[in-house]
Amino acid sequence: MAITDEISRRRTFAIISHPDAGKTTLTEKLLLFGGAIHVAGAVKSNKIKKTATSDWMEIEKQRGISVATSVMGFNYGNYKINILDTPGHQDFAEDTFRTLTAVDSVIIVVDVAKGVETQTRRLMEVCRMRNTPVIIFVNKLDREGRDPFDILDELEQELKIGVRPLSWPINIGAKFKGVYNIYEHGLDLFTPSKQTVSERVEIDDVNSPQVDELVGETDAAKLREDLELIEGVYPEFDEQAYLRGETAPVFFGSALNTFGVKELLDCFVKIAPAPQPVQAMEREVRPEEEGFSGFVFKIHANMDPNHRSCIAFVKVCSGKFERNAPYKHIRLDKTLRFAAPTAFMAQKKSVVDEAYPGDIVGIPDTGNFKIGDTLTSGEQLHFKGLPSFSPEMFKYIENADPMKQKQLDKGINQLMDEGVAQLFINQFNNRKIIGTVGQLQFEVIQYRLLHEYGAQCRWEPVSLYKACWIESDDDEALAAFKRRKQQFMALDKEGRDVFLADSNYVLQMAQSDFPAIRFHFSSEF
């Protein structure tokens, strides 16, 4: 198969949402249709000891939340689908932001009862910055929720995007009878079941008496009225507007009951974009180019607890990736070969011989990679857009078991390489400070250090407001600033100067007192 054919059948996307909107459940059901799994593990049920396929870290199983992006690939018909299931919890938003740089489109899951929530809003901003095409899945229709028209209005206002329903619910909650598929003109009747798929009735015309028989006269009349309103209020679905990120198609269903998911998937594979060109600093890189290029958007330590190994996730941007071929690591300026690159089905890995643009390849990492690294067939390319943001919470990390200093250092280094949090070393007292976006990350770090590295740490409070990277063209001004603020100066993992301001007032004063110094709130500058 020619490379252009391989590219056109790839669909790489992320599923994003606020915690508890049903993102991981939807991921599972998509895998069920792809034949990648044969029984869905009910995510919340304690009776079924199978936890969600995409949540495989011990702490995820205990908490019932996703704390790391997981990657799953499967075939569906003639398409090769790569799903990245992201953490919904805001404490892990940075992992999600980085993941969005590696996908070509996004499915947003919204809870019909709660509507648009804060985290969804923030993630949508990232999609808007990159003009990523978005499809919205309104979930949990088998529960009581809000009127579908109200939900559509809220989606337009809150996410600042045009919407166009491509399926429409018949009633909601206890009276939920199914959805009418506007995109394919079919009626899907709802039968509550976590394992089987509901029946599909092809309908040529929504006005046919068959509809009254299937859903009852009252609901059939309401459905016709709603559809007329939709045609009157919302413009025709324009595929190009969707691909430009201006319009979001909306589907309704219940992921837990495997309802409305197939309609979403069938429409998605037809309209979602194949791998797109990626902007490097030097030029635009097109997927069909001959030379291989790709970038590391995520590093995960200890995917296999028996082998303390790290895996770097590489998004293939152009050309064909081949096992054992020599590739240039741009930052280190050296050539590497990879004997066991892997493809993922969450934690299950299989060795791959080749991968095409849009695919995600796992490369065993012995400390060669950092987030944002570029691999190519030889060309000097630097992919951009993988920033670390300024953390908002800080704690000193101390060793609770002096016999395990080596394990603690190794654990901290590997977890920081993963981008779980950021490490700053205070230049005044040499103490290590961990900066995170949310409280939960401290618990995850402590848990993983103990269970994956056998090291115990304890946290000590430190009162800081913000970490900002500083630079200046004036060496004297920089030296004067560091002398004046020596108590608050630190180095990050890359050895760059970081100013740890203990209050907003101090930060503003520093900015006005030292005009020659540039303060950055993300590490990409």
User: Of 317, 342, 376, which residue sits at a domain end?
Assistant: 376
pLDDT at 51: 45
Q: What is the layout of strands, in order, in the sheet containing 422-426?
A: 457-461, 393-399, 432-436, 422-426, 489-491, 497-501, 466-471, 518-520
3-state helix, strand, coil in the chain (%, to 5): 30, 30, 40
Task: Tell me what the mean pLDDT of segment 2-8 comes to.
Answer: 88
Q: Which domain holds residue 328?
A: 289-376
Question: How many of the other CB atoms lie within 10 Å of CB of 327?
Answer: 21
The verdict on 158 and 25 lying in the same domain is: yes
Integer angstrom CA distances of residue 412 from 43, 247, 305, 459: 30, 43, 17, 13
Phi-psi region of 441 (alpha: psi -120 to 50; beta: other; left: phi over 0): alpha
The verdict on 323 and 426 lying in the same domain is: no
The verdict on 293 and 442 lying in the same domain is: no
> Taking all residues of the chain, what is their mean pLDDT, rounded to a whole number?
81
More confident residue, 307 or 339: 339
- Token pair, residue 83, equals 């799903």
Of 164-173, 331-340, 433-442, give the lowest mean pLDDT range. 433-442
The verdict on 259 and 408 lying in the same domain is: no
The verdict on 46 and 112 lying in the same domain is: yes
pLDDT tier at 395, thresholds 50, 70, 90: very high
The verdict on 424 and 301 lying in the same domain is: no
The verdict on 319 and 417 lying in the same domain is: no
Residues 229-242 pLDDT 10s: 988 888 888 999 99
Backbone phi, then psi, for 264, in 5-degree steps? -60, -50
The answer to whether residue 39 is domain-embedded is yes
Q: Give me the half-sphere count of Cα atoms (radius 13 Å) on the Cβ side of residue 476.
A: 0
pLDDT at 170: 86
Residues 7-16 pLDDT 10s: 999 999 888 8
User: Of 346, 376, 406, which residue sits at a domain end?
Assistant: 376
pLDDT at 349: 66
Residues 57-86 pLDDT 10s: 555 545 444 444 567 788 888 898 888 866
Of 73-82, 204-213, 219-228, 273-282, give the lowest mean pLDDT range. 204-213
- Output the domain CATH number for residue 150: 3.40.50.300
User: Of 349, 376, 403, which residue sits at a domain end?
Assistant: 376
Q: Is the pLDDT of residue 367 over 80?
A: no
The answer to whether residue 386 is domain-embedded is no
The answer to whether residue 416 is domain-embedded is yes
Q: Is the pLDDT of residue 405 over 60?
A: yes
Residues 244-295 pLDDT 10s: 989 999 999 888 888 888 888 988 999 999 998 988 888 899 999 999 999 9
The answer to whether residue 351 is domain-embedded is yes
- Output the domain CATH number for residue 494: 3.30.70.3280
The answer to whether residue 66 is domain-embedded is yes
The verdict on 38 and 111 lying in the same domain is: yes
The verdict on 418 and 510 lying in the same domain is: yes
The answer to whether residue 33 is domain-embedded is yes
pLDDT tier at 175, thresholds 50, 70, 90: confident
The verdict on 335 and 429 lying in the same domain is: no
The answer to whether residue 224 is domain-embedded is no
Residues 289-315 pLDDT 10s: 999 999 988 877 655 555 556 788 899
How many H helices and E strands in the chain? 14, 31
The answer to whether residue 122 is domain-embedded is yes
The verdict on 77 and 142 lying in the same domain is: yes
Q: Is the pLDDT of residue 88 over 50?
A: no
The verdict on 316 and 346 lying in the same domain is: yes
Task: Tell me what the mean pLDDT of segment 12-27 comes to.
Answer: 82
DSSP label at 63? H
**Count of domains forming the chain:** 3
